[in-house]
Every structure is written in structure tokens, then in C-alpha cells.
Amino acid sequence: MNIILLGPPGAGKGTQARKLVEERGMVQLSTGDMLRAARTSGTQMGKVVADVMDRGELVTDEIVIGLIREQLTSGNAAGGYIFDGFPRTLAQADALGDLLAELGETLDCVIEMQVDDEALVTRITARSTCGACGEVYNDNTKPIPADGKCIKCGASDFQRRADDNEDSLRTRLMAYYKQTSPLVGYYYAKGDLKTVDGLASVDEVAASISAALK
């Protein structure tokens, strides 16, 4: 089963993708994670990507479609793929459809995670991530343990993302509404769309996603 998690920054896409990986053996393809890896590569492309991401704008379709193509053509996901943060434009959605068709695969479900803007700002400005394993924390709802060690891997290196500030977040939200939210109508028209309330607790959202995938 191949699915897309669609939603604005902070909707909980990464959090739910990690649960699906653990529970269903699916493979998470996060273009955000791939681009964060590219920005540390020291290449010219990495520097361009870093500037664009820090401003909160979208990286070019050409770059992200190339990254996804590379993963899909070299990988093998028996449990299926979770597309997290991809596609984000209509061009990316068309490219994903073509790529899956080329590989004889299908897109089985698109989960739209709805969260209001106020909650997004609160969530994002309170987020931190384990630098070793990527486990996501939140100062309000899932604080870093008192012993300062990650619950998943025991590491003590927690990071805040450079684009998790109010200025970048405003641009990221604008990019979502202008360039990504048209995908809701696109996938609704294709008959693939299911919507969940992303404002519920992490476990309740996970249960809604499971129900949507039945």
C-alpha cells in the first residue's frame, strides 16, 4: 500500500509516518529529511537548498522529483511507501503518478491532516528532534525526558530546525495554501482523498488514519 500524508507544516505528518513505519513496516519517504541531508553535503546544490528551506519557500520541483525518483527506482518497500511532504505542487503530483505507473505501482490513499493555523504555530515553535534517530519531541505535549536522553535511542543531542521560527513559518504556511492545498481538490477528484482531524491526540490521529486505510 502506498499513501500520501498531506497537510501544512506541523500537522503531524512526520509523527504519524514514524508510527506507520513501526506498526506496518512501511517505508517513509520524507522530502524534507532528504533535503536536510542534502544541505549538509557541502555541495553548491546543498547551499542553494539550505537558503530556500531557511526562508520557508519550496525547493524546485526538479530537485525533489529527482530525489523521489532515485528512492523509488533503487528501493524495495514490500510494506509500501509513505510519502511525507511530497507531493507539494501539482507538477509533483503528476510526476508521482507517472513514476508509480512506470513502476507498476498504485497510489492507494491520500490522508489529509487538518489542523488550524494557531495550533500549527504552537506546535512548531515547541518542536525539537533527536539528532541521532529523528524522534520528534514537543515542549508542551511530548517533552524531552528529564534525564536528557532520547526515549528511542538514548542519545542526548536534541536539535531545533533552522526553519522553525515565526518568519519562516509564515512563508511555509503561505507556500502551503498557495502551492500545496490545491492538491486536496486534485486527489478528491481522483477519489483517493480521506480527511482526518489532526488536532486530536497523536494516538487518536493514528487510529483515524488506520480506519481510513481499511
* Residue 88 binds to ligand AP5 (criterion: CB under 6 A): yes
Rounded-to-integer distance, Cα 70 and Cα 62, Å: 12
Radius of gyration of the chain (CA): 17
Residues 6+ apart with CB under 8 A from 78: 25
By CB under 6 A, residue 9 contacts ligand AP5? yes
Q: Is 14 in the site for ligand AP5 (CB under 6 A)?
A: yes
> Helices in the chain by DSSP H: which ranges?
13-24, 31-39, 44-55, 61-74, 90-102, 117-125, 166-175, 182-190, 202-212
95 is a contact residue toward ligand AP5 (CB under 6 A): no
- Active-site residue flag, 152: no
Per the annotation, the verdict on 13 as an active-site residue is yes
Closest-CA residue to 9 (of 205, 142, 168): 168
| Residue 205 found at the interface with ligand AP5 (CB under 6 A) | yes
Dihedral angle computed from the Cα positions of residues 49, 5, 67 and 26, in that order, rounded to the nearest 10 degrees: 130
Length of the chain: 214
Chain residue whose CB lies nearest ligand AP5: 32
172 is catalytic: yes
Span of 71-79, 103-111, 123-131, 148-156 interacting with ligand AP5 by CB under 6 A: 123-131
Supply the minimum distance, in Å, between the C-beta of residue 92 and ligand AP5.
6
User: Cα torsion at 141, 145, 150, 155 (round to 10°)?
Assistant: 140
Residue 2 vs 92, nearer CB to ligand AP5: 92
Of positions 32, 82, 187, 208, contacts ligand AP5 by CB under 6 A: 32
State the catalytic residue, choosing from 160, 170, 178, 190. Answer: 160
Give the footprint of ligand AP5 on this chain (CB under 6 A).
7, 9-15, 31-32, 35, 52-53, 56-59, 64, 85-86, 88, 92, 123-124, 126-127, 136, 138, 141-142, 163, 172, 201-202, 205
Q: Which residues are catalytic?
A: 13, 88, 127, 160, 172
